[in-house]
Structure 1
Amino acid sequence: MIRSSSSTPIPRTLPLLPLHDKVLLPGVVTRMQISRRDSIPLFEKLLRTVDSRDLNKCIIGAFPVRISSASASPTSPTKVSPASDNGDTRNGKGGKPEFVIPGPSPVYPVPSKGDGQLVRIGGSLDPADIHSTGCAARLVRLERAVGGFTVVLEGLVRLRLNKIISQSPFFEAEVTPLPDKAVDRSDQTLQDQIVILRSTSREFVSLLQTLKLPAPVLTQLQKFLDNVTVIPGQVVDLLMSTIESTIEEKIIILDAVDLKERIAKAVELLTRQIHVLKISQKVHDNVEGKLNKKQREFYLREQLAAIKEELGEKDTGDDDEMTIIEKRLAAANLPPDVQKAADRELKRLKKMQPSSSEYSVIRNYLDWLGDLPWSKSSEDILDVERARKQLNDDHHGLEKVKRRILEYLAVAKLQQLKGDVRGPILCLVGPPGVGKTSLGRSIATAMGRKFHRISLGGVWDESEIRGHRRTYVGALPGLIIHGLKKCEVNNPVFLLDEIDKVGSRGHHGDPSAAFLEVLDPEQNSTFTDHYLNVPFDLSKVLFIATANSIDTIPAPLLDRMELITIPGYTYAEKLAIATNHLLPKQIRQHGLSEDDVQVTQEALLKVATGYTRESGVRHLEREIGALVRSKAVEYAEYQERKQSGTTDSAAEYQPLVTLADVEDILGQEKFVNEVTERVAVPGVVTGMAYNGVGGGIMFIEVSQMPGKGHLQLTGSLGDVIKESAQIALSWVKGHGYEIGLTNSPGQNVMEKADVHIHMPSGATPKDGPSAGIAMVCALVSMFSNKTVPSTTAMTGEFTLRGLVMPVGGIKEKVIAAHRAGVRKIIMPLRNQKDVASDVPANVRSDIEFYYASTIWEVLREAFEGRAPVRGASAAASIDSRL
């Protein structure tokens, strides 16, 4: 037998618990999560002040938040659940776990103040939103959880809300209990209603039995219904908590203090649910038969239509989830092999329950297949003149890169009808700040394609490129497929930024090796991402990679790309870039107009030469930004004075930045001309270096001291450059008499001396063979006490036989030497063609080049005819032996 809910004494003043998506009825036990800030303080206080053994003596008022009449009607089959997590469907003790009859679960809005607006769950609650009828609840269990509390409440008796007496830190109110009255046996109308309720309830339970629901729960329901004549009010409350009904309908039951009114509404709701169950059973029996696929789909759709008709819902024309997926896959126009894989996965999805863990995996996979641009392309703008103008407007110089892009556009235009033009794999190599990344964006704009940048710096996992297999939790496609989904076309321009900084081989695979298929024009038409596991055609994608150095790029990957070197800029090019691009950009970014800030050409050139020392223009742009900001302050102060009426002729704003203003704004000059400021000293020679991020000059210093013929090398030198020093010293010692350093052919020039070779900037690693001839000249200069002009620089490798060998990085070295003030360069004869083809004409006109094939020619030119060679005949005989 059920204990009377009203037997527990109810205080007249109770703390309130607002229920936003639930209605607690008497005799029902429910579990809920407490996370609202207007409810947490109540349970915080209970947890602190009430002993755990006395928790079940705590009574609170559970009042629903008022909802409008626009609340949704029920849209799903019946849900049967016990009143508690631990048991008895009559009073919350000894029951079984909750179960739900298959069907979609409805989502009900919780309006505020009856106006149809949703109550903000995280916001403050208006007392006017609290419904006037609630339920006294006994606290069965209280546990702290993430973000709040987990509580178990047992409904006791209906309450009438009289007055809210406190809102902080939680609601408290005066209430009046509304217990059920005893059943009047003489009221024939009530007795008739009880008979109808008992009959309808038994029919409801019998239908649940046909659906093969758990027998213990059905047995408990059946026993509980046997008491319907004694406690009909509690039977109604329990049934309304176990069937699926809307919040509004449960509030109607809660408001029905009169037993007749409550039974009438309960019979109506039960009858509706019985009709739904009958339709479900009918279709279930048909589907259980041996029907073919089309018949099965027909009956299932008929079931859905019948349920909607019984619930009074209008067909809004919205498709179900499977239909939406099928339409998306059909619209994607998948290739045949991909369509086959999609159909197979869709067939599996239809057989699964939405609660299955694999359901979401397959659903996400089909979403990816439907979102990728398998056959959607953007139309190329194959206008060579338009592209040339776009590239020239965006970038100064870079003629080789522009010419290669125009070649691709021209070929694509000529073969447009064939549709068989494969995108090139370009790799722009150059120091930072020369415009590699922005050049890729300009190429996309010139071709009318979408642009997507993929940053590869620090990518160390192969799966970042090829995706994760779907067997892993949280698997996703790689960066290539992600980029295609974002671009929504299959022919975008992909910029693979910093490809030389991809992580090396490790226990997560080799990410650089994952690009071997992506960047191979012969293979990327069937690129297979691990997540998709179907091929995707990348042949229409124009890949552009950027790198600062090719030294760290694996040879197989480097072989798949067409290298285009972008060297550093000359001062003339920097001046043009600053005038046409950097200065207008900085003026716009600082909220000024071009009339508000004007910088003279002399001032810009001073910034480029005295305040920056780089191959690119990134630092130059920052310094120009400092000039503009200084003028922005002056202009803002001028506007303030003008508005206050205190402006005079002496305080007029001057927009022009002159050469004299540069030092006042940027401070003392940071860099001086290293070469022209130096005084020629014996044993010091200017060399030329290339470090992968641009060129530069380096000074080679040699000194001797009393010793026993030892050689000491300092300056953070690598193995190759150390070997060059050994070769240089061996050659000088072997030819000391011919050079004029010793008095006899067999004499050792280092017989009583040690030699120390040093290269300043010792924190910078240095390596490579191109300092060979400079070391020979430095050694000869030191031993002979002759000087090499500081404005003369040299580069080249040489052998023990005295042959001068060609070296790389000529353009970068020459441009860096030009920036440093070098006026004469000695280099190998076989590098003459590099100077003619790569070095800008204005640089060639400012520098005198001398090309040597032997070390004797280098010595004569370095010392300007003052080389200490013993007579022309000795040098000529040595040249003949070479």
Structure 2
Amino acid sequence: MAVTDKDDLISIIEEDDDDIEIPEEMPLMPVRDVVIFTDMLLPLFVGRDKSIKAVEDAMSSSRHIFLATQKDPITENPKPEEIYTVGTVGKILRMIKLPDGRIKALVQGVAKGNILEYVKKKPCFHVKLSMFEDDPCGELSLENQAMMRNVRENSEKILTLKGEVSSEITTILDSIEEPGRLADLVASNLKLKIEEAQELLELKDQLERLKKVNDLLGRELELTVVQAKIQSDVRDEISKTQRDYYLREQVRAINKELGEFDERALEAEEYKKKIKKAKMSTAAKEESERQLRRLEQMHPDSSEAAIVRSYLDWLVELPWSKATKDSIDIKEVKAELDKDHFGLDKVKERILEYLSVRKLNPKMKGPILCFVGPPGVGKTSLGRSIANSMKRKFIRISLGGVRDEAEIRGHRRTYIGALPGRILQGLKQCEVNNPVFMMDEIDKLGSDFRGDPSSALLEALDPEQNSEFSDHYVNLPFDLSNVMFIMTANMTDTIPSALLDRMEVIEIAGYTHEEKEKIAFKYLLPRQIKENGLKKEHLKLSSSAMALIISEYTAEAGVRNLEREIGSICRKIARKIAEGKDGNFIVNVNNLSKYLGIPKYQPEMEQEQSQVGLSTGLAWTQIGGEVLYIEASLLPGKGEMIITGQIGEVMQESARAAFTYAKANLGRFGMKETFLDNQDVHIHIPAGAIPKDGPSAGTAMAAALISVITGKPIKKDVAMSGEITLRGRVLPVGGLKEKSLGALRAGIKTIIVPEKNKKDLTEIPPNVHKAIRFLPVSQMEEVLKEAIDGDVFEIKPKKQSKKPQKPKVNKAPGPSDIKKEDDQKAE
């Protein structure tokens, strides 16, 4: 703080000779951000309660108050040890109470003092002092007189540079003869740190204090000179800028009158720099330069100029040659994939194979992978993990519901608002030409009068062609061979064959019960605990409760609904904690219904018993495998067949084939050949609101029909899948892995599969093999012997030249058994 009024300062100096009686005890007011020297006159704004009380106590006595600086200016209520012991005795000259309760006081520094002890601490500090006198300096030597003159001259120089010098200030500086007072006056006007100012205040040697002030003054002079130079340069620059602006405005006005615009030259120069920086292909560079020459000849406000300008912007912003460097450590990649996803060994193995080849041959073309599987099995997150493991950027677009070809290839530039396709848009967004590019839901592409987007993808997803991919908007070849494309789909049936042929399909089946449980405890539960603001100790979910959630609260191949149910439990516990309840909760089988309500799915096999005319088939759906119940019934009629349950043409044909097989073999079942002449057969597949189709339910429909004809029940824990022919042969079907997982969820113990599907049994997880017995068959007779409870063949079949061997049913064939059988065939 500095003295602001020169007349006040003169009066203070003149009054210095008067004797001032200072009491030994007085109130203390801590001050912050300033060290007060003697002879200083400054206004203080007092707002703290203790400080206001100290001022009031001083005003009620001798008006003297001790002003000491606190060490930390942030502290609101400093303690005695947080206040410097050396300070200045001040006299309150004027005091005004402000409307907000604060006090404004004009204080004059009188003398320096040292705190001996704190007499009172409440309601404000009162201290006992001893005077802190300066050491006498005696007669000044020539060197000391020269130092005083140097201090005066440097002070005047600083004030001159700041524009604050006046004759009164020069008079004041010349009138002070004591080194200590001169040092205090100059120091009070310098912007010193608290520590530096306090050190000066505590120096008793006047000459030492003056010397230190002289050093600080020299530093301040250098700073002031530099500051003045900067300000001068800024003023000159502002003057030059204003002059240039004025001249430029004049030139602009002249050019406007002449119909010429200077901005065009600047714009053209800027585009030239961007074209050079973009490092385009030769064709793209030539085209951009040609378009730039066209732009220079156009009127800048024309619509054609706007189209060309937008086109150039896209050309210079596309990553023609910018790419990230692959960082491929196979062990690290495997650890990354295992950390983010449980199971999926086949997918991880294929990814590691690709990266291994990429590491050995960096110039290889990017493959087109297609992950096919039910929702919620981790297809999309796998793509992100691949990008992270390769240190590549990741771009994802969703193709679900896309019907316009322009979404893929872009619009022609002639249209207003034209844009490139979503492929080039994604590359511009990630700013590199070799990202991991994921296209979700490729099986849900549509087509209408605007074109077929799947056909537009043929070029982009063909490794032999996409090095010169042409977008309608850019209309120049762009290299997509470095992009790693990953598609996802729930099924391949709706993907056009030409597009499917360009992709490497990797099937991702659903998870088993055990896999879901491990995924839930390793990934889903920790993530939901974190997202719902809980801590690990807040929630303990038992294994039996998790198993119950999986079996009776979800019915899916993936784990998306499982995570929702876990999130529901976490939200309810978060609410209890927010209401102030104890934060340790245990969820088990007994109290699970309190959090999730009654079970949503009851295992169907527990509700059914072995019945006549009720067989269990297996169906493949987009969300995984499921069991399919088939009912058959006889009623008086004319030998006709009724089929219900919203089934497709192929399934109806399978039902007719099963009916023909049963009718042709009535004699072998111990029935009259004319048994069905006066009987109508009704085959019904429940869940009539759901469309069903496919040939794989042929064996199940035949078994249900023969069961109702013979009156013998079908075992409730046996399921079957296979296409049937008129002669009772069982043909292979697809989706066996998904169907087996669905059967496992439904509690099936035995699955009858076609003989030619034995090769697919190697893909069945080991835990499914342990829980389910797989029985390969080639004839419908074998199906009936295993599925129907009792012998349906009362008339033995005719002897053949070579009796077919009965298949072993004690254990399911594993990979080693199949290999052994193949070796025997080879011999």
Q: Is the 8 A contact 1:608 1:620 kept in 2?
A: yes
How far is the alpha carbon of 1:693 from its aligned partner?
2.7
1:606 aligns with 2:548: yes
* Unpaired runs of at least 5, structure 2: 1-242, 807-827
Q: Is the 8 A contact 2:318 2:427 kept in 1?
A: yes
Q: Is the 8 A contact 1:798 1:855 kept in 2?
A: yes
1:556 aligns with 2:498: yes
2:358 corresponds to which letter in structure 1?
A
The range that moved more, 506-515 or 652-661, is: 652-661
Structure 2 vs 1, CA of residues 273 and 515 (structure 1 numbering), >3 Å: closer, same or farther?
A: closer
SS at match of 2:359: helix
1:828 corresponds to which letter in structure 2?
P
Structure 2 vs 1, CA of residues 880 and 276 (structure 1 numbering), >3 Å: closer, same or farther?
A: closer
Corresponding residue number in structure 2 for 1:245: none
Structure 2 vs 1, CA of residues 414 and 785 (structure 1 numbering), >3 Å: closer, same or farther?
A: same
1:623 aligns with 2:565: yes
Q: Which of 338, 341, 355 is the matching residue for 1:409?
A: 355
How far is the alpha carbon of 1:383 from its aligned partner?
0.9
Corresponding residue number in structure 2 for 1:105: none
Q: Deviations over 1:665-693 (max 9, x none)?
A: 11111111112331111000011011233
Q: How does 1:375-394 map to 2 (within 5 A)?
A: 375-394=321-340
The range that moved more, 663-672 or 531-540, is: 663-672
CA distance in 1, matches of 2:455, 2:680: 50
CA distance in 1, matches of 2:449, 2:572: 52
Q: Is the 8 A contact 1:738 1:875 kept in 2?
A: no
Q: How does 1:340-489 map to 2 (within 5 A)?
A: 340-416=286-362, 420-489=363-432
2:418 corresponds to which letter in structure 1?
A
1:691 aligns with 2:637: no
Corresponding residue number in structure 1 for 2:786: 861
CA distance in 1, matches of 2:703, 2:661: 11
Q: How does 1:477-626 map to 2 (within 5 A)?
A: 477-504=420-447, 506-626=448-568
How far is the alpha carbon of 1:655 from its aligned partner?
2.2
Q: Is the 8 A contact 2:605 2:747 kept in 1?
A: yes
Q: Is the 8 A contact 1:674 1:820 kept in 2?
A: yes
Corresponding residue number in structure 1 for 2:794: 870
1:369 corresponds to which letter in structure 2?
L
Q: Which of 720, 723, 740 is the matching residue for 2:653?
A: 723
Q: Which of 711, 715, 724 is the matching residue for 1:798?
A: 724
SS at match of 1:812: helix
Structure 2 vs 1, CA of residues 273 and 474 (structure 1 numbering), >3 Å: closer, same or farther?
A: closer
Corresponding residue number in structure 1 for 2:670: 740
1:809 aligns with 2:735: yes
1:844 aligns with 2:765: no
Aligned residues: 562
CA distance in 2, matches of 1:275, 1:357: 28
CA distance in 2, matches of 1:273, 1:484: 40
1:593 corresponds to which letter in structure 2?
K
1:701 aligns with 2:631: yes
The range that moved more, 872-881 or 344-353, is: 872-881
CA distance in 2, matches of 1:571, 1:319: 70
How far is the alpha carbon of 1:757 from its aligned partner?
0.3
Structure 2 vs 1, CA of residues 525 and 278 (structure 1 numbering), >3 Å: closer, same or farther?
A: closer
SS at match of 1:393: helix
Structure 2 vs 1, CA of residues 376 and 785 (structure 1 numbering), >3 Å: closer, same or farther?
A: same
How far is the alpha carbon of 1:435 from its aligned partner?
1.1
How far is the alpha carbon of 1:877 from its aligned partner?
8.3
How far is the alpha carbon of 1:735 from its aligned partner?
0.8
Q: How does 1:813-828 map to 2 (within 5 A)?
A: 813-828=739-754
Q: Deviations over 1:828-850 (max 9, x none)?
A: 111111112x1110011111111
1:769 aligns with 2:695: yes
How far is the alpha carbon of 1:624 from its aligned partner?
0.6
Q: Is the 8 A contact 1:549 1:693 kept in 2?
A: no
1:556 corresponds to which letter in structure 2?
A
Structure 2 vs 1, CA of residues 278 and 345 (structure 1 numbering), >3 Å: closer, same or farther?
A: closer
Q: Deviations over 1:228-263 (max 9, x none)?
A: xxxxxxxxxxxxxxxxxxxxxxxxxxxxxxxxxxxx
CA distance in 2, matches of 1:845, 1:367: 62
Corresponding residue number in structure 2 for 1:672: 602
CA distance in 2, matches of 1:705, 1:654: 62
Corresponding residue number in structure 1 for 2:138: none
Q: Deviations over 1:83-121 (max 9, x none)?
A: xxxxxxxxxxxxxxxxxxxxxxxxxxxxxxxxxxxxxxx
1:671 corresponds to which letter in structure 2?
Y
1:659 aligns with 2:594: no
Q: Deviations over 1:402-429 (max 9, x none)?
A: 111100000011113xxx2111101111
Q: Percent identity?
A: 48
How far is the alpha carbon of 1:272 from its aligned partner?
8.1
* Unpaired runs of at least 5, structure 1: 1-267, 288-299, 305-317, 640-651
Structure 2 vs 1, CA of residues 816 and 600 (structure 1 numbering), >3 Å: closer, same or farther?
A: same
Q: How does 1:46-61 map to 2 (within 5 A)?
A: none
SS at match of 1:474: coil
Corresponding residue number in structure 1 for 2:141: none
How far is the alpha carbon of 1:320 from its aligned partner?
2.5
Structure 2 vs 1, CA of residues 792 and 877 (structure 1 numbering), >3 Å: closer, same or farther?
A: farther
SS at match of 1:686: strand
Q: Is the 8 A contact 1:498 1:547 kept in 2?
A: yes
Q: Which of 677, 682, 699 is the matching residue for 1:751?
A: 677
How far is the alpha carbon of 1:323 from its aligned partner?
1.8
SS at match of 1:675: helix
CA distance in 2, matches of 1:588, 1:278: 64
How far is the alpha carbon of 1:326 from its aligned partner?
1.2
1:714 aligns with 2:714: no
Q: Is the 8 A contact 2:667 2:795 kept in 1?
A: no
1:812 corresponds to which letter in structure 2?
E
Q: Deviations over 1:124-163 (max 9, x none)?
A: xxxxxxxxxxxxxxxxxxxxxxxxxxxxxxxxxxxxxxxx
1:335 aligns with 2:261: no
Q: Is the 8 A contact 1:741 1:868 kept in 2?
A: no
Q: Is the 8 A contact 1:430 1:567 kept in 2?
A: yes
Q: C-alpha root-mean-square deviation of aligned residues, in Å? A: 2.6
CA distance in 2, matches of 1:711, 1:448: 62
CA distance in 1, matches of 2:805, 2:431: 69
Q: How does 1:195-234 map to 2 (within 5 A)?
A: none
How far is the alpha carbon of 1:353 from its aligned partner?
2.1
Corresponding residue number in structure 1 for 2:760: 834
Corresponding residue number in structure 2 for 1:26: none
Which structure has the bigger radius of gyration? 2
How far is the alpha carbon of 1:880 from its aligned partner?
7.4
CA distance in 2, matches of 1:429, 1:708: 47
Q: How does 1:81-480 map to 2 (within 5 A)?
A: 276=251, 320-416=266-362, 420-480=363-423
SS at match of 1:367: helix
TM-score (norm 2): 0.65
CA distance in 1, matches of 2:445, 2:643: 34
CA distance in 1, matches of 2:379, 2:424: 23
2:707 corresponds to which letter in structure 1?
S
CA distance in 2, matches of 1:754, 1:274: 98
CA distance in 2, matches of 1:589, 1:875: 70
Structure 2 vs 1, CA of residues 706 and 839 (structure 1 numbering), >3 Å: closer, same or farther?
A: same
2:385 corresponds to which letter in structure 1?
S
Corresponding residue number in structure 2 for 1:95: none
1:844 corresponds to which letter in structure 2?
H
CA distance in 2, matches of 1:274, 1:597: 71
The range that moved more, 657-666 or 608-617, is: 657-666
Q: Is the 8 A contact 2:322 2:431 kept in 1?
A: yes
Q: Deviations over 1:368-422 (max 9, x none)?
A: 1111100000011111111111111111111111111100000011113xxx211
